[in-house]
Amino acid sequence: MKLSDRKKKILSAVVDESISRGEPISSKDIQEKYLSEYSPATIRNELMALEEMGFLSQPHTSAGRVPTVEGYKKYVDELMTIKRLSKKEADLLKDGFNERLLNLNDVLKKAAKTISSATNYASVVYYGITPSAVIENIVLVKLTEKQTLVVVVTDQGSIKEETNSISASEDELLSANKILLNVLRGRKIGEMNECRNLVTGELLRYKTIFDCIIELLTERDDLARNMAVEGKDNLLSYPEFQDQNKLKNTMHLLERQDDLYKVMSDPNVEVSVRIGGDDEDDLKDVSIVTATYKVNGKPIGSAGVVGPVRMDYSKVVSILKNVTKLLEENDFFGGNT
Amino acid sequence: MKLSDRKKKILSAVVDESISRGEPISSKDIQEKYLSEYSPATIRNELMALEEMGFLSQPHTSAGRVPTVEGYKKYVDELMTIKRLSKKEADLLKDGFNERLLNLNDVLKKAAKTISSATNYASVVYYGITPSAVIENIVLVKLTEKQTLVVVVTDQGSIKEETNSISASEDELLSANKILLNVLRGRKIGEMNECRNLVTGELLRYKTIFDCIIELLTERDDLARNMAVEGKDNLLSYPEFQDQNKLKNTMHLLERQDDLYKVMSDPNVEVSVRIGGDDEDDLKDVSIVTATYKVNGKPIGSAGVVGPVRMDYSKVVSILKNVTKLLEENDFFGGNT
DNA sequence: TTTAGCAATCTACCCTTTCGAGTGCTAACA
DNA sequence: TGTTAGCACTCGAAAGGGTAGATTGCTAAA
C-alpha cells in the first residue's frame, strides 16, 4: 500500500508524538509541530484516510488519533530513520564495560543493565552455546576428594560443571582426559548422541567418565544457557502498564525465563522487531526488539528490549546494535580468534 | 506490656483476618468467627484499648481495625504459633530439588522459585563465600592458548574464573600451582592481603600468576556472590501494591541486588523478621523474612521472602526453615564434610 | 484541493446525594 | 465490675447529574 508523501509525514508525526507523549494526537498538534503549511482541517482529512487504511484509530469520537499495531509496523518498516548515537552516548554505553568483569553472568548482567538504563525499558540479554559448537578442549580436574570439575571448551565458549558422580584417581582422570580428547576433539556438541557408541577397546575402562561427559553435553536445549533480565521496574513508569492485567502479563513473561528465551533466540536476523506480538497472549501488550551477536562468526546470543508498543524503536535499535557490537568486540566469551 | 488473654485472642484475630482478607476488621467479624461468647460491644471496648496501646489503628472513624506495624511485631514475637508443614507440603518443596541441578545458580534459582510459588511472595536466595573461608585447593589449567582457568576451592565452596591475563606454558602453570598451593593452603580468604609479601625466593618467578590469584580473592565483598530473585510478579496480586509508589519502591528494591544483598545477609540469627523496615525509604512498605543456611557449620547464605507487611509470617517462617534445611542437607555447594 | 465554520460527541472533572458499614457512648443489666 | 443493647454519629464508596473543553466530521465556500 503506497502512501503519498504527505500521508507519510502525517503518519510519522502521529507515531513520533505518540511515542513521546503517550496520548492521542490531534490534528492541531500535528499542524503546530509538524505541518504548519496546512490547516488542521486538511490534516483531518488525511487522518481519516489513514484511519480507513488501518494505520490509525481513535479511542473515542472526540479524541485524537493513536497508531494501530499496523501503523507502528509501517513506521518501523518504511518510515523510521535510525539515528546514529552521538559520540557521547556511545561512550556512555562503552563505559559500563570498562570495569573488570569476572564471568559470563556478570557480563550479561552488565549488558542488560546498560541497555535498560539507556532505553528506560526492560532488557534481556541471552547467551547459549549452540549444537554446532566444536569441541576444542576437555579438562578433567579433581577439586576435592569428592568433587571433580569438568570443563568442555568450544569455539563458542566453555561449559563447566562440578560433579561428584566421577570417582577416579588423579592418574586415571589424566589418562581418561587424554583419551576423551582424542575421541571428541573437533566434534560438534550436536553430534554427541552418535558418539555414545565410540566407547570401545581401551576406552571401555573409562566408560563411567565418558558417559558422564556425554550426559553433560547431550539432550539439553539449555546448554550453558545464561540469561540476564534487568530493568523490569522501568516499565512501571509507562501509563500503558497502569492496567493491572497488562502489567501482570508482562511481568509474568519477564519472570519465566524459559519462555522468554524462545522469544529471544532467533539467530537468523541481525535485528528483529516484534510489535504487539500477533495475538499471542503474553506478548500482545508489548513490543520486543532483539539483536543477535556472534562469537567466531556464529550467532550465540542476543540482546533485547521489552517495552510498551509505544516504544522508541529508532533509539532502541541503535542502542542494541551498539551493545551487541561491544559484546562482540570485547571477547568476553572466551571464544578463540 | 502484658496483654490479657482476651486481648491476645482479639489481636491475633485481627492480624489473622487482616492477613487473609486484607481489609479492616470489624468487631462483628471477630465476634462471628473468633469470639462468639462475647458481644460485638465488648469486643469494641477491647479494640479501643488495643488501639490506645498502639497495636491497632483505624483508617477512618467508621471503618474496622487494622494492625499497626507494632501490632504485627507483637503478633510475630509473642502470639503467633508456627505451624509445621504437613507431610504433603514438605514433600512438595522437596520435589523441586530432585531434578538434576547443574550449578550453583540453578540451585539458587530453584530454591527461590520453590519459595516464591509456595508462599506467593517474592523470594530472594543468596550465597556468598565469607572471608573466613579456608583455602583447600587451587587449580590452574590452560583451557586454550589465551584462556587460563583458575579454581580456588574452599571449605565453603569454590571460586572459578577464566582469565587471559596469565600467559605461561603448561609446565610453568603446574609448578606455579604447586608452589602456590604450598603457600596458600590452609589460609583464610580474608588474610589474602597479608599474603602479598610472601612472594620471595623461588616464588618470584611466578609473581604475575601469584598476583593474579591474590587479586581474584582480595578486596571484594562480592566474592562468589550469587543471588536469585524470583516471583516479583507475585506481589502484583496484593491490593497494597496497587499503590504505584509502593510498587515502584518495592520493585526497584528487588532489582538492585547490591542493596538487597545487604538486607539479606545477617548471618547471626537463624531466622530474622523485619516488619515494615523502620523508616528506611525502600523498606517501609514491605516485610522481609530471612533464614540463613550453613555449609560446614558456617553461615554462607540466606533464603528470604519479600512481601507486604500483611504477610503470613507463620507460613513463611516454616517454609523458609524447610528450604534452608533442604539446601543444607543436599550438599549443593561442594563444601567437604 | 484546501480551508473556515460549526454542530455533534464524548471524556474528565466536580458537586451532590444516598446508602451502609462500623464506630463510640450511654444507660441498663447480671 | 464486667457485659451488653440501643442509638446517634461519622465517613467512604457508589451513583447521579451537570459543566467545560477538546476534537472530531461535515458542509459549503474560497
Tens digit of each residue's pLDDT (9 = 90 or more) over B153-204 = 999 888 888 888 788 888 889 989 998 898 899 999 988 878 777 767 767 7
Fold of B135-217: Enolase-like; domain 1 (3.30.390)
Task: Out of A139, A147, A231, name the one closest to residue B334 (CB).
Answer: A147
- A240-249, B49-58, B314-323: the lowest-pLDDT one: A240-249
Are the beta carbons of B334 and A103 separated by less than 8 Å?
no
More confident of the two residues B337 and B233: B233
Q: Residue A13 above 80 pLDDT?
A: yes
Are the beta carbons of A146 and B336 separated by less than 8 Å?
yes
Q: Residue B269 above 90 pLDDT?
A: no
Nearest partner of B234 among A239, A256, A248, A282, judged by Cα: A248
Residue A310 pLDDT class (50, 70, 90 cuts): very high
Q: Residue B43 above 70 pLDDT?
A: yes
Query: Which residue(s) pair with B286 in the sheet?
Result: B308
The strand pair at A157-163 and A148-154 is best described as: antiparallel
Residue B281 pLDDT class (50, 70, 90 cuts): confident
What is the arithmetic mean of pLDDT over A266-295? Answer: 86
CATH architecture of A5-79: Orthogonal Bundle (1.10)
Looking at residue B222, what is its pLDDT? 67
Q: Which residue has the cell 518504511?
A: A78
Least Cα separation, residue A248 to chain B (angstroms): 7
The CATH number of B87-127+226-329 is: 3.30.450.40
Are the beta carbons of A233 and B248 separated by less than 8 Å?
yes
Tell me the C-alpha to C-alpha distance, in Å, between residue A229 and each of A110, A116, A127, A135, B264: 10, 9, 12, 29, 21
Tell whether A63 is within 8 A of chain B (Cβ): no
Tell whether B160 is within 8 A of chain A (Cβ): yes
Contacts of B153 in chain A (CB under 8 A): 143-144, 147
Tell me the pLDDT tens digit for each residue of B113-153: 999 999 999 999 999 888 889 999 999 999 988 889 999 99
Least Cα separation, residue B102 to chain A (angstroms): 7
Tell whether B233 is within 8 A of chain A (Cβ): yes
Task: Out of A105, A136, A255, name the one closest to residue B233 (CB).
Answer: A255
Phi and psi, residue A142, nearest 5°: -80, 125
Q: Residue B325 above 60 pLDDT?
A: yes
Residue B221 pLDDT class (50, 70, 90 cuts): low
Q: Residue A296 above 50 pLDDT?
A: yes
Looking at residue A336, what is its pLDDT? 46
Looking at residue A56, what is its pLDDT? 98
More confident of the two residues A119 and B244: A119
For B78, what's the count of Cα atoms within 13 Å in the CB-facing half-sphere? 15
The domains of chain A are located at 5-79, 87-128+225-329, 135-217
Describe the strand order of the beta sheet including A135-142 as a list of residue ranges.
A135-142, A148-154, A157-163
The strand pair at A148-154 and B66-67 is best described as: unpaired
Contacts of B146 in chain A (CB under 8 A): 336
CATH fit for domain A87-128+225-329, picks 3.90.79.10, 3.40.630.30, 3.30.450.40, 3.40.1000.10: 3.30.450.40
Q: Residue A268 above 60 pLDDT?
A: yes
Determine which of A162, A217, A236 to mutate to test the interface with B (most B C-beta atoms within 10 Å).
A162
Q: What angle do CA B102, B104, B110 make, to 5 degrees?
A: 80
Alpha-carbon distance of A128 to A119, in angstroms, equals: 24
Q: What angle do CA A289, A293, A296 make, to 5 degrees?
A: 165
Quick one: closest CA in B to A103, which residue?
B161
How is residue A198 written as a grid cell?
Answer: 565410540
By C1' distance from the Cα of B60, the closest nucleotide is: D11
What is the arithmetic mean of pLDDT over A154-173? Answer: 86
* Number of CB pairs, chain A paired with chain B, less than 8 A apart: 87
Task: For strand C, give the nucleotides within 7 A of a protein CB.
Answer: 2-5, 8-11, 20-26
Tell whether B89 is within 8 A of chain A (Cβ): no
Alpha-carbon distance of B307 to B121, in angstroms, equals: 5
Q: With pLDDT > 90 as the criterion, what percentage of chain A qualifies? A: 61
Looking at residue B337, what is its pLDDT? 39
What is the arithmetic mean of pLDDT over A86-105? Answer: 86
More confident of the two residues A256 and A212: A256
Q: Residue A230 above 60 pLDDT?
A: yes
Strand segments (E) across A157-297: 157-163, 226-230, 271-275, 286-295
Tell whether B145 is within 8 A of chain A (Cβ): yes
Footprint of strand C on the protein (CB under 7 A): A 37-39, 41-42, 45, 60-63; B 24, 26-29, 40-41, 44, 47-48, 51, 58, 61-65
Q: Which residue has the cell 535499535?
A: A317
Determine which of B160, B162, B226 to mutate to test the interface with A (most A C-beta atoms within 10 Å).
B162
Note whether A95 and A278 are within 8 A (CB): no
Tell whether A334 is within 8 A of chain B (Cβ): yes
Are the beta carbons of B143 and A105 separated by less than 8 Å?
no
